[in-house]
Structure 1
Amino acid sequence: MSELDAATEGDAGPAEGEESAEPKSRHRLRKALIGLGACAALLIVVVFGAGLYLQHKLTSQIDRIPNAFAGLTDRPAKSGDAVNILVMGSDRRSEKQTTGGDAAAESWIPGEQRSDTLMVLHVDGDRDGASIVSIPRDSYVDVPGHGKDKINAAFSYGGPALAVETVENLTDVRIDHIALIDWEGFERLTDALGGVVVTVPETVKDTKNDRTWTKGPHDLNGEEALLYVRQRYGLPGGDFDRINRQQAFLRSLMGETLSGDTLSSPTTLYDVLDAVTDNLSVDEEWEVGDLRGLAWSLRGIRTEDVDFTTVPIKGTGMVGAASVVFLDKPAGEQMWAAMRDDDFDAWMAEHPEVELPAKVR
């Protein structure tokens, strides 16, 4: 078995039994402020009204990632006053929690954990908006020291530091901070909100979990939400449709979080903040004061101020026995240049065709 196959065994672009196909469009996802680090920042700012004790209790629950930038040299320049955060969801192989203050298992064990979800969160320098770019986990890129491979293999091979180096190598964008969360965090957050409503446009069968999602609205609890965002088998676009589902769910999740019912209920608000901070890990260089400062500067942001997109895709194909995603390098370079120049809003305005549709499969 090749290094690529060994490190990413079980991953695929389109679902099993389906042909690889170029996605119909590059997905621009306009949704809530959730790229985990952003979500924590926005939610933590609400804590300021609850007193210093509560601030300390909740922020102290956030786990710290040591040596997240160890050994990195010749890095891209900072993007002015903008802040770029690499957000990764852990595809853990342990049944135990791997992120946050109650983590009972290592967040990274060489060769065992991959980054199931990978996003770059860009907070505008003027703090009037933010953007998140999703990078498909099967993107075929250069992984420093390992040649061409799927981008999620970087976390498996070298942990957070190699993941950062790989993303910076791909984008030429400076990563200022890292945020990690496993799906346990989303499950707890969904339950803390009392459920999150999503709408399924057409009935679809999850062939792997023997679950049928009927057409119409679904009020999901935490366990159901995990099934919804993780489904790939049975979806026509495989992993691309799963990315869309994750983004659509997160949009609904943030809408519930910022609703008047949540913000006006001390108990619900505390449960939401507790779920986020207790399942979040960030780099140890990210001081609590800086995190609170970023949160405070984002206090006026709402869902309509946040843009989501997926890195431009050229198509899919096979490398050996592995299904991979080929990125559109020229289009991607233009997009990443806009992020470097802190001019992402203008780039998004020029590419309205990549907006996430109101309904996703």
Structure 2
Amino acid sequence: MTDTEAPVAAAPKPRWRRVLRSLVIVTTIVVTVAVLAALGAGVWVQSRLGGQVEHLPSAMPVGERPAESAGDSMNILLMGSDKRVDGSVAGQRSDTMMVVHVPSDRSGVGVVGIPRDSWVQVPGHGPAKINAAFAWGGPALAVETVENLTDVRIDHVAVIDWEGFKALTDAMGGVEITVPATVTDGYSGRTWQAGTQRMDGATALDYVRQRAGLAGGDFDRIKRQQNFLRALMAQVLSTRTFANPFRLYDALDAVTANLTVDEGWSTGDLRDFAWSLRSIRAEDVAFTTVPVKGTGMEGDQSVVYLDRQAGEEMWQAVREDAVAEWIAETGAGLPADVN
């Protein structure tokens, strides 16, 4: 509630509105469950929004895999990719990769960014950039590559076209982002002036994709993407959004039109998962990036070398359902100011 809004008497929230609140959280962080907002609002909405979400067949690898997630925790591999002309994501390299961990007690959400240029072993192909796995073998090879790297079981997959974030931003009337210091994109020539600004979808897409001109290159781009998600989540969860069912519907419509999930994530399972997150708030979500040693060259490719020892400590925290504790202890969370 803003300072100018009059207080209203507390009243029990209808079940469907509570479901919508939990679903919007997931929409912003784990975009894969945005469609579930429909399930609490009626059959027509379920059909309209749920029918837009595409499902990926054979999205999970076969053969030996890591142990199942501890308790009722869940790990979701979230990838951002541009769609091809035919509307599919097949053959595209994922330019964003995050492992989203939801603990058993649903007390928070941990989001771990993996640099797209991370130099790893891709099964059947040898050493390569991690984002090549998606292009070479689709989500199943991407999952297998991440599981081999982390020894963490991936339970579900979601692929979001970045146009979905653009459309969602526009549906929200833009998102406020604070740029701490003026910086120029070395590729596009665009200059971001220091200060708080409201970005529309196209501007936000430029913001999350920039790396030239940023001191940390791809590392800073990951921080920008997470910072954008953080700001978008705060705005989507605002009272103003929930008081406007048309804006809320437009937001969910924008996401579901650009969302693809594994075929094993049924509508009923998604609904139950979303309901389990009903108590999560924006401050309960922690962002971090997998530890890295630095950058280098492999042939003519600029790559990122991961810090395997520090990374193993972090992934062990994921396996033990203690990501939030690890982020708090190491101070490795997303900073308040992101350039």
TM-based fold match above 0.5: yes
Residue equivalent to 1:83: 74
Residue equivalent to 1:264: 243
The one of the two structures with greater contact order (alpha-carbon pairs below 8 A, sep at least 6) is 1
User: Is 1:192 the counterpart of 2:174 in the alignment?
Assistant: no
What per-residue deviation string (whole Å, max 9, x for no partner) do you get for residues 38-65 of structure 1?
A: 2443x55554552232133212211101
Contact (CA 8 Å) 2:93, 2:132: kept in 1 or not? yes
Q: Secondary structure at the match of 1:350?
A: helix
User: Is 1:356 the counterpart of 2:334 in the alignment?
Assistant: yes
Q: Secondary structure at the match of 1:194?
A: coil
User: 1:359 corresponds to which letter in structure 2?
Assistant: D
Q: Secondary structure at the match of 1:324?
A: strand
Paired with 1:171 and 1:266, the residues of 2 have a C-alpha distance of 41
Residue equivalent to 2:307: 328
What per-residue deviation string (whole Å, max 9, x for no partner) do you get for residues 81-126 of structure 1?
A: 111110000145x3x4xxxxxxx422113xxx10100000111111
Identity between Structure 1 and Structure 2 (%): 58
Residue equivalent to 2:88: 106
Paired with 1:145 and 1:60, the residues of 2 have a C-alpha distance of 35
Q: 1:316 to 1:73 in 2, by over 3 A?
A: same
TM-score, structure 1 as length reference: 0.83
Out of 32, 40, 43, the position equivalent to 1:52 is: 43
Paired with 2:151 and 2:233, the residues of 1 have a C-alpha distance of 30
User: 2:47 corresponds to which letter in structure 1?
Assistant: H
Out of 29, 38, 54, the position equivalent to 2:30 is: 38
Residue equivalent to 2:52: 61
Paired with 2:189 and 2:325, the residues of 1 have a C-alpha distance of 44
Farther-moved stretch of structure 1 (318-327 vs 46-55): 46-55
Out of 170, 182, 187, the position equivalent to 1:203 is: 182
Q: Secondary structure at the match of 2:30?
A: helix
Paired with 1:167 and 1:232, the residues of 2 have a C-alpha distance of 23
How far did 1:332 drift?
A: 0.8
Paired with 1:271 and 1:145, the residues of 2 have a C-alpha distance of 42
Q: 1:180 to 1:40 in 2, by over 3 A?
A: closer
Residue equivalent to 1:27: none
User: Is 1:287 the counterpart of 2:266 in the alignment?
Assistant: yes
What per-residue deviation string (whole Å, max 9, x for no partner) do you get for residues 166-197 of structure 1?
A: 00000111111100011110010000000001
Contact (CA 8 Å) 2:74, 2:103: kept in 1 or not? yes
What per-residue deviation string (whole Å, max 9, x for no partner) do you get for residues 24-44 of structure 1?
A: xxxxxxxx9568672443x55
User: Is 1:73 the counterpart of 2:63 in the alignment?
Assistant: yes
TM-score, structure 2 as length reference: 0.89
Contact (CA 8 Å) 2:31, 2:158: kept in 1 or not? no
Q: 1:57 to 1:351 in 2, by over 3 A?
A: same
User: Is 1:175 the counterpart of 2:154 in the alignment?
Assistant: yes
Q: Secondary structure at the match of 1:84?
A: strand
How far did 1:238 drift?
A: 1.2
Contact (CA 8 Å) 2:25, 2:237: kept in 1 or not? no
Q: 1:170 to 1:118 in 2, by over 3 A?
A: same
Contact (CA 8 Å) 1:35, 1:119: kept in 2 or not? no
Residue equivalent to 1:162: 141
Structure 1 gap ranges (5+):
1-31, 97-103
Give the superposed CA RMSD. Answer: 1.7
How far did 1:232 drift?
A: 1.3
What per-residue deviation string (whole Å, max 9, x for no partner) do you get for residues 300-349 of structure 1?
A: 11111111110011111111111111111111111111111112222222
Q: Secondary structure at the match of 2:228?
A: helix
User: 1:106 corresponds to which letter in structure 2?
Assistant: S
